[in-house]
């Protein structure tokens, strides 16, 4: 009944995903390339989560947030990658109307939630460096849990707004989405009803998330920088930089690729560029996150050695 209600106002019952490219000679190489990307993303994030769970010295607020970040990236990869991989092998990659709206909802949910998780991580780094003596008191298990619950609830609310606004639109004859997934702007281009409210709501929701997250992250790092400048010990200064480095890289990659994907001039040439940046934002960044937090992290390396020793002995 719910599916019928969703489709009642639209003559379109399914969409065709055009994918990344229509060049047949590139389909198979791209399939294997993104299959490897998918496997690395799933295995990398799952392994990172297991390391955190199995090693008690990683049961700290910072790694609690990293666990949630990896969990989001892990789930995120299941939203559109399998369907995208199918598109490289099938002549027509068809997705139902309800399937498209479901994909849109979970895409918005995980992206919005990740914005807030990264914001909470910036606040955690601020407390760790600027209030070290009160760190365990301020970042108590209850506080950390509430921050993550709030992040997921706000992500859920944003996704509900985006999906609810999309369901109210009417789709007539055009059903070919010039993308590899059901994203907001490619869907708006297909609607035969007014998209003014959708564009207004999208701008308001995305603007609120980006401005709020950016302000908190920038304020946190401004205070951290001020604190670092006044540190007398060079060792403490080096440790503070090392602690924040991975998070700064992650934030830069996530927000940088997101801005390049969605804030662009509206032209036919920009469609291809948008797909390229979208691939980086949705497929490459979730793969890189576990590597960024593992390669130069002594705690994670120690946890990995201990876990491997348990398995081999």
Pairing of strands 14-17, 93-96: antiparallel
Q: Which whole-number Å values give the CA distances from 46 to 2, 25, 160, in the listed order?
A: 34, 33, 27
Confidence of residue 265 (pLDDT cuts 50, 70, 90): very low
φ/ψ of 195, rounded to 5, equals -110, 10
C-beta atoms surrounding 180 within 10 Å: 26
The two three-digit tokens of residue 177, written as one number:
């989405």
Q: What secondary structure does DSSP assign to 77-116, as a single string? A: HHHHHHHHHHHHHSSSEEEEHHHHHHHHHHHHHHHHHHHH
Report the alpha-carbon distance of residue 18 to residue 22 in Å, rounded.
7
Report the alpha-carbon distance of residue 129 to residue 181 in Å, rounded.
41
Q: Are 248 and 293 in contact (CB under 8 A)?
A: no
Alpha helices in 131-188 (DSSP H): 135-138, 141-167, 184-188
Nearest to 82 by CA among 44, 114, 34, 40: 34
User: Which 3 state secondary structure label does DSSP give 16?
Assistant: strand
Report the alpha-carbon distance of residue 204 to residue 196 in Å, rounded.
12
The residue written with tokens 């602690």 in the block is 243
The residue written with tokens 């399939």 in the block is 31
Nearest to 81 by CA among 179, 181, 163: 181
Report the alpha-carbon distance of residue 275 to residue 283 in Å, rounded.
11
Stronger pLDDT, 162 or 295, i.e. the higher one: 162
Q: For 168-186, what is each residue's pLDDT tens digit?
A: 999 988 899 989 999 998 9
The residue written with tokens 């007398």 in the block is 232
Q: For 107-144, what is each residue's pLDDT tens digit?
A: 999 999 999 999 999 999 999 988 889 999 999 999 99
Nearest to 153 by CA among 198, 104, 120: 120
Q: Are 300 and 51 in contact (CB under 8 A)?
A: yes
Nearest to 177 by CA among 112, 258, 103: 103
| 17 sits in which H/E element | strand 14-17
57, pLDDT greater than 50? yes
Lowest mean pLDDT among 6-10, 23-27, 286-290, 291-295: 6-10
HSE value, Cβ hemisphere, 13 Å, CA-based, for 281: 21
Q: For 4-42, what is each residue's pLDDT tens digit?
A: 444 445 678 899 999 888 888 889 999 999 999 999 999
Q: What is the edge-to-edge ordering of all strands in the sheet holding 93-96?
A: 93-96, 14-17, 176-177
The two three-digit tokens of residue 181, written as one number:
């997934």
pLDDT score recorded for residue 8: 44
């Amino acid at each position: 009944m719910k599916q019928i209600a969703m489709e009642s106002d639209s003559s379109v019952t399914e969409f065709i995903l055009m994918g990344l490219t229509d060049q047949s000679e590139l389909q198979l190489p791209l399939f294997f390339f993104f299959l490897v990307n998918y496997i690395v993303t799933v295995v990398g994030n799952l392994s990172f989560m297991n390391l955190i769970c199995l090693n008690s010295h990683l049961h700290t607020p910072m790694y609690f947030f990293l666990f949630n970040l990896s969990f989001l990236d892990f789930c995120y990869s299941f939203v559109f990658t399998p369907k995208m991989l199918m598109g490289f092998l099938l002549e027509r990659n068809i997705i139902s109307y309800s399937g498209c709206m479901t994909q849109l909802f979970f895409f918005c949910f995980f992206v919005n939630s990740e914005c807030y998780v990264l914001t909470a991580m910036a606040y955690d780094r601020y407390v760790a460096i600027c209030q070290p003596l009160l760190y365990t008191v301020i970042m108590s298990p209850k506080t950390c849990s509430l921050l993550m619950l709030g992040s997921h609830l706000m992500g859920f609310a944003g996704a509900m707004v985006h999906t609810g606004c999309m369901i109210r639109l009417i789709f007539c004859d055009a059903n070919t989405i010039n993308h590899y997934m059901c994203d907001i702007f490619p869907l708006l281009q297909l609607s035969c009803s007014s998209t003014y409210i959708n564009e207004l709501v999208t701008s308001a929701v995305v603007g609120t998330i980006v401005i709020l997250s950016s302000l908190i992250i920038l304020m946190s790092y401004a205070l951290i920088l001020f604190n670092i400048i006044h540190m007398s010990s060079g060792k403490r200064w080096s440790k503070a930089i090392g602690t924040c480095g991975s998070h700064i890289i992650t934030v830069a990659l996530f927000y940088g690729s997101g801005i390049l994907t969605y804030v662009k001039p509206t032209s036919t040439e920009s469609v291809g560029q948008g797909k390229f940046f979208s691939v980086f934002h949705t497929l490459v960044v979730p793969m890189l996150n576990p590597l960024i937090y593992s390669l130069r992290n002594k705690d994670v390396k120690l946890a990995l050695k201990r876990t491997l020793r348990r398995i081999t002995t």
